[in-house]
Amino acid sequence: MEVRGALRIAVAAARALEEEIVSGASADDVHKAADVLRDARPTAVSLPNAVNYVLHIVESHGSDDPAVGRALILGEVTAFISSLESSIAEAAAHGSSLVEDGDVILTICNSSTVVEALKLAKGRGRRFSVFACETRPRWQGHITARELSGAGVDVTLIVDSAAYHTLKTKGVSKVFVGADTVYADGSVVNKVGTSQVALAARSAGVPVYVLTESIKFYPYSMHGATVEIEERDGAEVSDIKGVGVFNPAFDVTSADNITSLVTEDGVCPPGEVRARMEEKFGWMM
Ligand code: RI2
């Protein structure tokens, strides 16, 4: 939990492998490091996607001269890391263009893409306000509230269970959430509580936008695979003796409850995710 946010996790993993390669590690050692990194957290698919892409680069540069091979690999890995970093800015720019004067936006957890989009909208002079769900049990909504407030955005914290009431009574016009993993059918894995917010939003007639870089697309979901939902220590929730705790960290929001996904390539209805996935992840399949 020192590195949070699905995109930051991907960048950190790619950087770790880059350091391995710089330090002269053998292909075998790079593969071992990749296994350790992939196992660090189970749910955000940006992590294995980034690791697998670096391995794909390593494997495609077998050279008779190891120094030449390493230089080529490093050049491509560094370019890949830059493209990950610019994808957040591009997705956020597309997200920010959805913000209109008078909007009341509800969000959950701490998505760097969502925060960046809202900061950009504020910077462009848009007048809007935000409700941030606290996001029990680790309170990442407080990070969002602090970041937005620091950027001059009018932000109000709510307890997670106040989401529906807030949607119905406070004129919420849009829901913005991040993503940890995107499935081919357009459904999205994100911080636990997101699916309830989206269900509530649908019932209240409020559109739901998922801001996500395409490194979070899960290509194996085209064949029906799903990711494991991380379950965290019960002590994060309660220490009542004799009482069990179920503490899933993520949940799945059905595509039916998502209006659009917003990636570095622009706005994409859930029904178009599969085609974009095929285009982006041919190298892996
Ligand atoms: P960005 C986070 O998970 C949250 O679920 C957030 O919505 C998602 O990653 C995407 O974050 P965690 O790593 O990539 O905090 O938009 O458990 O920053």
Q: Which of 32, 60, 90 is the endpoint of a domain?
A: 90
Q: Which numbered atom of ligand 1 lies nearest the CA of 3?
A: 13
Residue 272 lies in a domain: yes
| Domain shared by 276 and 202, yes or no | yes
The rounded percent of the chain whose pLDDT value lies above 90 is: 84
| Domain shared by 67 and 172, yes or no | no
Omega prior to 269 cis, within 30 of 0: no
Domain at 251, CATH number = 3.40.50.10470
| Domain shared by 21 and 126, yes or no | no
Cα(159) to centroid(ligand 1), Å: 19
| Domain shared by 54 and 147, yes or no | no
Q: Which numbered atom of ligand 1 lies nearest the CA of 46?
A: 14
- What's the confidence (pLDDT) of residue 180? 96
Domain at 79, CATH number = 1.20.120.420
Q: In this predicted structure, which of 5-19, 97-111, 157-171, 237-251 has the lowest mean pLDDT? A: 5-19
Pocket test for ligand 1, best of 47, 107, 110 (most atoms within 8 A of CB): 110
| Domain shared by 79 and 116, yes or no | no
- What's the confidence (pLDDT) of residue 58? 87
Residues annotated as catalytic are: 109, 180
Q: What are the pLDDT digits (tens) for 199-223?
A: 999 999 999 999 999 999 999 999 9
Among 15-24, 68-77, 256-265, which range has the highest average pLDDT? Answer: 256-265
Q: Which of 62, 90, 118 is the endpoint of a domain?
A: 90
Residues with CB under 6 A from ligand 1: 4-8, 109, 111-113, 140, 178-180, 190-191, 249
Instruction: Yes or no: say if 170 and 104 are a contact pair by the CB < 8 Å rule.
Output: yes
| Domain shared by 264 and 235, yes or no | yes
Pocket test for ligand 1, best of 109, 116, 133, 250 (most atoms within 8 A of CB): 109
| Domain shared by 37 and 128, yes or no | no
Instruction: Give mean pLDDT, residues 167-179.
Output: 98
Instruction: Yes or no: say if 133 and 109 are a contact pair by the CB < 8 Å rule.
Output: yes
Cα(5) to centroid(ligand 1), Å: 3
Cα(181) to centroid(ligand 1), Å: 10
| Domain shared by 63 and 109, yes or no | no
| Domain shared by 121 and 68, yes or no | no
**How many domains, in total, are found in the chain?**
2
Q: Which of 90, 125, 154 is the endpoint of a domain?
A: 90
> Measuring CA to CA, which residue among 141, 125, 133 is closest to residue 172?
133
pLDDT above 70: residue 23: yes
Instruction: Give mean pLDDT, residues 17-23.
Output: 90
As a three-state string, the secondary structure of the chain is: CCCCCHHHHHHHHHHHHHHHHHCCCCHHHHHHHHHHHHCCCCCCCHHHHHHHHHHHHHHCCCCCCHHHHHHHHHHHHHHHHHHHHHHHHHHHHHHHCCCCCCEEEEEECCCHHHHHHHHHHHHCCCCEEEEEECCCCCCHHHHHHHHHHHCCCEEEEECHHHHHHHHHHCCCCEEEECCCEECCCCCEEEECCHHHHHHHHHHHCCCEEEECCHHHECHHHHHCCCCCCCECCHHHCCCCCCCCCCCECEEEECHHHCCEEEECCEEECHHHHHHHHHHHCCCCC
Residue 1 lies in a domain: no
- What's the confidence (pLDDT) of residue 65? 59
Cα(66) to centroid(ligand 1), Å: 37
d(CA 18, CA 12): 10
| Domain shared by 13 and 130, yes or no | no
Residue 285 lies in a domain: no
| Domain shared by 46 and 166, yes or no | no
Q: Which numbered atom of ligand 1 lies nearest the CA of 9?
A: 13
Residue 143 lies in a domain: yes
Averaged confidence pLDDT in the chain: 94
The rounded percent of the chain whose pLDDT value lies above 70 is: 98
Q: Which numbered atom of ligand 1 lies nearest the CA of 112?
A: 18
Cα(44) to centroid(ligand 1), Å: 8
| Domain shared by 237 and 102, yes or no | yes
Q: What are the pLDDT digits (tens) for 56-107?
A: 998 888 655 566 678 888 899 999 999 999 999 999 999 999 999 999 999 9
Residue 142 lies in a domain: yes
Its domain, for residue 12, covers 6-90
- What's the confidence (pLDDT) of residue 62? 67
